[in-house]
């Protein structure tokens, strides 16, 4: 047998043996291609509405239960949040571009709560407004549902040419929760990230995790995800399990269930209108860096639009002023007290 024939027979034999044993070599994808898959899966969902039940536990404290209904359509987002028996309304771009709207049914300690408007790029001005988390990114962010709103997916899954040139991201095959996954590891500053993607569906995130050390404490945040396919072959998370450990000890956790109401279907026309959120005759606190609807006078929401009114200033973040009747009653009471004291003194010295 010639040497060439020998090697040919050996190669064919090894190939047949690998196929028979299921050991054929699989092609490892590029990490940035996987990141592109992630971004495409999010971008295909342009509108939707989901209902969320979230239970957050920190240490030995009682669970904090919140219910969210989040609606989104391109650059508009609205969240109706129920906590402690009251309802908060958060809305982005619901009154002109780059505006944040905040309204709550919880009575304030002093005065009357107003409908608050602030600039989208400056949410801290005037009043601390919560951000609205984007449910399309829930399973891709290594934090609890409520905290994920402060992360920037565009930085975590940056696929720019500059990053591709500067950083090679390792990809390896790994089984997690009995699911065959591609694992991608990368770093952002001192934080090391890992994400496990289902090999059969790169949009399906099985797990995402970050790790960092601070003052000799090893912090690990991990989110395990269960998802499902919906109309249009859209993958969307339906359950999140979040845990944070500090040196291996669980310090907080969260269970999140997500009910999809609709995806990529038209939402009611007034979904992002203040008139479906705010009761009429509600004072308006204007903290936008733009001209007020009316230069002078107090503002209020009349159920359809902002109008100018008088007499609301004492209702917004101010203690109620004493009225004439109340002052008269107080003076009368004081007069009676002094009259009583005077009568006692007179009896004593007569």
Residue of 272, 280, 278, 303 whose CA lies nearest to 91: 272
Spatial distance between the Cα atoms of 50 and 71, rounded to a whole number of angstroms:
7
pLDDT greater at residue 96 or residue 80? 80
d(CA 10, CA 18): 12
Instruction: Please check the confidence at residue 183 and state whether its pLDDT lies above 90.
Output: yes
With a cut of 70, say whether residue 1 has pLDDT above it.
no
Mean pLDDT of 105-119: 70
Residue 70 has pLDDT above 90, yes or no: yes
Select the more confidently predicted residue: 284 or 109: 284
Higher pLDDT, 35 or 3: 35
User: For position 31, what pLDDT does the model report?
Assistant: 94
HEC profile of 4-61? HHHHHHHHHHHHHHHHHHCCCCCCCCCHHHHHHHHHHHHHCCCEEEEEEEEEEEECCC
Is 53's pLDDT higher than 90? yes
Which tens digits make up the pLDDT trace of 255-307? 999 999 999 999 998 999 888 888 888 888 887 777 878 888 888 888 888 88
Pairwise pLDDT comparison (217 vs 26), residue with the higher score: 217
Decide if pLDDT at 244 tops 50.
yes
Can you tell me the distance from the alpha carbon of 230 to that of 263, in angstroms, rounded to the nearest whole number?
8
Q: What angle do CA 247, 251, 255 make, to 5 degrees?
A: 125
Q: How far is CA 131 from CA 10, 19, 102, 118, 153, in A?
A: 63, 52, 10, 12, 15
- Distance CA(238)–CA(224), nearest Å, equals 11
Burial 300-333 (b: 16+ CB within 10 A, else e): bbeeeebbeeeebeebbeeeeeeeeeeeeeeeee
Are the C-beta atoms of 285 and 316 separated by less than 8 Å? Answer: yes
pLDDT tens readout for residues 220-237: 999 999 988 888 788 999
- pLDDT score at 11: 47
What global pTM score does this model have?
0.76
DSSP notation for 111-157: S---EEEEETT-TTSSS--PPPP-GGGGGGSSS-TTGGGGS-HHHHT
- Is 31-263 a domain of CATH 2.50.20? yes
The count of residues in the chain is 350
Confidence of residue 322 (pLDDT cuts 50, 70, 90): very low
Per-residue confidence (pLDDT) for residue 301, from 0 to 100: 86
* Contact present, 77 and 70 (Cβ < 8 Å): yes
Give the list of residues 6+ apart from residue 21 with CB closer than 8 angstroms, or none. none
Q: What is the pLDDT of residue 103?
A: 86
pLDDT digits (tens, 9 = 90+) for 12-42: 444 444 544 445 567 899 999 999 989 988 8
pLDDT confidence of residue 317: 40
């Amino acid at each position: 047998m010639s040497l060439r024939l020998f090697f040919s027979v050996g190669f064919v034999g090894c190939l047949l043996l690998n196929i028979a044993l299921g050991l054929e070599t699989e092609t490892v994808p590029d990490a940035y291609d996987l990141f592109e898959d992630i971004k495409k899966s999010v971008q295909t969902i342009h509108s939707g509405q989901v209902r969320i039940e979230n239970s957050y536990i920190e240490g030995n404290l009682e669970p904090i239960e919140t219910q969210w209904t989040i609606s989104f359509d391109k650059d508009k987002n609205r969240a109706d949040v129920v906590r402690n028996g009251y309802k908060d309304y958060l809305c982005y771009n619901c009154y002109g571009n780059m505006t944040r709207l905040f309204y709550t049914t919880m009575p304030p300690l002093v005065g009357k709560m107003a409908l608050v408007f602030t600039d989208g790029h400056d949410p801290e001005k005037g009043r601390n407004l919560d951000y609205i988390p984007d449910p399309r990114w829930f399973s891709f962010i290594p934090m609890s549902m409520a905290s994920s709103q402060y992360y920037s997916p565009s930085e975590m899954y940056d696929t720019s040419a500059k990053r591709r040139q500067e950083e090679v991201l390792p990809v390896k095959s790994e089984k997690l929760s009995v699911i065959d996954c591609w694992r991608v590891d990368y770093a952002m500053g001192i934080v090391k990230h890992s994400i496990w993607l289902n090999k059969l569906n790169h949009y399906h995130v099985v797990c995402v995790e970050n790790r960092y050390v601070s003052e000799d404490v090893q912090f690990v945040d991990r989110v395990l995800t269960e998802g499902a396919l919906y109309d249009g072959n859209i993958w969307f998370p339906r359950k999140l399990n979040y845990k944070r450990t500090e040196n291996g000890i669980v310090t907080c956790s969260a269970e999140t269930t997500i009910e999809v109401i609709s995806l990529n279907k038209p939402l009611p026309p007034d979904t992002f209108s203040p008139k479906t959120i705010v009761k009429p005759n509600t004072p308006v606190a204007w903290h936008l860096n733009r001209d007020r609807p009316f230069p002078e006078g107090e503002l209020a929401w009349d159920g359809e639009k902002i109008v100018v009114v008088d007499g609301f200033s004492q209702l917004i973040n101010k203690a109620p002023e004493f009225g004439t009747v109340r002052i008269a009653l107080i003076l009368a009471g004081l007069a009676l007290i002094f009259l009583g004291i005077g009568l006692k003194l007179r009896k004593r010295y007569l």
